[in-house]
Amino acid sequence: MSDPVVFMGVAGCGKSTVAAAVAQALGLRLVEGDDFHSASNRRKMSQGIALTDEDRDAWLTTLSQELRNSPRPMVLTCSALKRKYRDRLRQAAPGLRFVFLELSQQAAQARVSARSAHFFSADLVHSQFAALESPVGEAHVLCVDATKQLGALTPQVIEWLETSHA
């Protein structure tokens, strides 16, 4: 694999879990996008306040720099809910690919509500779906069923990464 990949989707879709499994299997660096949110963004999300495009601007700039400055392919988790967010990341890394972990709002709500140690409020799941602009049909995007078991998703993603070229 020669190009970086972003695991994207709404909160609770399994970005971190699937990305970590793929990164480990391929020996790639994993960058957890949530780690780069500002304290004010984290505070807003924990209080159930949806982030605006302005709130996400510095975060996307930082993630773009991570992509641009990586000496080798990497795996990044980022919600990348809107096309313009994905396009910003693409500008930073030509050849960038996306794995879209798709699931229903009901399933996302259940997963986020069950999490105990995460700053993201379950009250925000609806806002994630309101903001989501599906990447289905965009170039270099693999859409997967986020309700599948990790043991099925990991090889599916790896096969796509190894056989598709941006």
Which domains, and CATH codes, for the chain?
Answer: 5-163 (3.40.50.300)
Whether 45 contacts 124, CB under 8 Å: yes
Ranges of residues in the chain with a pLDDT under 70 are 1, 114-123, 165-166
Q: CA–CA separation, 150 vs 97, rounded Å? A: 20
The percent of residues above 70 in pLDDT, for the chain, comes to 92
Q: CA–CA separation, 95 vs 156, rounded Å? A: 20
Q: What pLDDT digit, counting tens, does each position of 98-125 carry?
A: 999 999 888 887 877 766 665 556 567 7
pTM recorded for the entire structure: 0.90
